[in-house]
Amino acid sequence: MNIKLDQPLERTAFVNARLLDPATGLDAMGGVLTDGETIADFGAGLFENSVPEDAKVIDCKGACLAPGLIDMRITMSGSDLETIGSSAVAGGVTSAVCLPNTNPVIDDGSVVEFVARAARKAGLVKIYPYGAITKGLEGVEISEMGLLAKSGAVAFSDGNNAIGNAQTMRQALLYAATFGLMIIEHPEDPSLAEGGTMNEGETATRLGLPGISKLAEILIIERDLRLAQDTGGRIHFAHISTAESVAAIRAAKIAGMSVTCDTAPPYFALNEGAIGDYRTFAKLSPPLRSEDDRGAIIEGIKDGTIDAIASDHTPRHEDEKRLPFAQAAPGGVGMETLLAITLELVHNGHIGLIDALAMITSGPADLLGLSGGRLKKGAPADLVLFDVEQGWKVDADELRSKAKNTPFDERPVQGRILRTVIDARTVFKLDA
């Protein structure tokens, strides 16, 4: 059940909840009290003695209550805000950051403001925009990043386009550094990736498909680390997928560089074998890698090299996926499976529940300077209620997203969203 943000507000007491706040490490039975659109109080043992008489009571029945998820990488191009919002809240996502590859491109302050207004009007998930690094995402002329930031852009990216020209990237890092802004790179050398359709290696050879070398990712990362070191710029690498990438970023962090990165669920939950017999839902950008790479991504999450997990939600029309593998468009939807696949890291014993939630709440919030992602008095009451153990099976046909291109179709998972709350209003409730 989806509910838009136009309900009348009333004081609400969430009782009998397992409170989880990754920002502080809180994990205790307690409750949350909302007043207006904000958190009025929360904590272990709250409501043990009584509940305010004027408050509506929501009994969480021992389920986990945490800050709403923050998804730091989604694509809105080709999808309407209603569809994006419905998919987001069904996945427990209360804030999402969209790539600038919209129509028109987010390379002007007026477009930043338009995206924010349109999201508010749609009345579901909170949308924050990235500004384009270069005008028109063409990789040539640097955009007015300072003005875009003033209009509300939270960081800068050219979406799924790497900055192929080293001089252009150097200028972008220099310009961004003067304003303290973060550059987000899609690390894939376009000249090495051109014409490729999946990870280069034995599987690609067996399937007769042209491969994309892992060098396409690592060369851009190593180049940009050098440029960031030279300029003092703040660099973030999106959806890293290889062992070499993890090693390079780990070494840069140890050396004290201002570098961060994220990955996406397919890169720690799947490998290139998921392509099977030319399964286009598993065609992603970057491509699914080897089992060794998948293991290295998990290690990068465990040791803190990887700072966040983003869904990399990329809706594709059926006509773009129902094609021969080489012609099919890359990308998969991911907001509705973000929590469940992230929880596989917990169920498989790799990291604890608080640490997993930090990757999709306080982690991205801290990277982007967003107000959500934590339980805090006076903060917006953006919450997610979920059952960490409840099993279900991903069914592409049952996704609320109009696009059904999930690489996790038919996968058994554990972790079910029961309720999503934005500004103290329930916007999603799992049908009984």
Q: Residue written as tokens 């003067």?
A: 178
Rounded CA-CA distance 166/227 in Å is 8
2 lies in a domain?
Answer: no
C-beta of residue 230 within 8 angstroms of C-beta of residue 258? no
Query: Which amino acid, 95?
Result: S
pLDDT tens digit sequence for 172-231: 999 999 999 999 999 999 999 999 999 999 999 999 999 999 999 999 999 999 999 999
Range of the domain at 299: 68-368
Q: Are residues 28 and 120 in the same domain?
A: no
User: In 3-state terms, what secondary structure has residue 349?
Assistant: coil
Q: Are residues 309 and 191 in the same domain?
A: yes
Q: Give catalytic residues, as residue numbers.
A: 312
Q: Are residues 23 and 81 in the same domain?
A: no
Low-confidence ranges of the chain (pLDDT < 70): 1-8, 78-79, 432
pLDDT score of 5: 46
* CATH code of 397's domain: 2.30.40.10
Q: Are residues 208 and 283 in the same domain?
A: yes
Q: Are residues 122 and 206 in the same domain?
A: yes
C-beta of residue 72 within 8 angstroms of C-beta of residue 368? yes
Rounded CA-CA distance 409/397 in Å is 9
Q: Return the bridge partners of 21, or none.
A: 26
Q: Residue written as tokens 């063409």?
A: 138
pLDDT mean across residues, the chain: 95
pLDDT tens digit sequence for 226-261: 999 999 999 999 999 999 999 999 999 999 999 999
Q: Are residues 170 and 117 in the same domain?
A: yes
Write the CB contacts of 311 (distance below 8 Å, at least 6 apart in sequence): 71, 73, 74, 91, 93, 264, 265, 333, 334, 335, 337, 338
304 lies in a domain?
Answer: yes
pLDDT score of 78: 65
pLDDT score of 167: 98
What total of structural domains would you count in the chain?
2
Structure tokens at 152: 């509300």
375 lies in a domain?
Answer: no
Kindly state the greatest CA–CA separation across the chain. Answer: 68
pLDDT score of 121: 80
Helix (H) / strand (E) containing 252:
helix 243-254
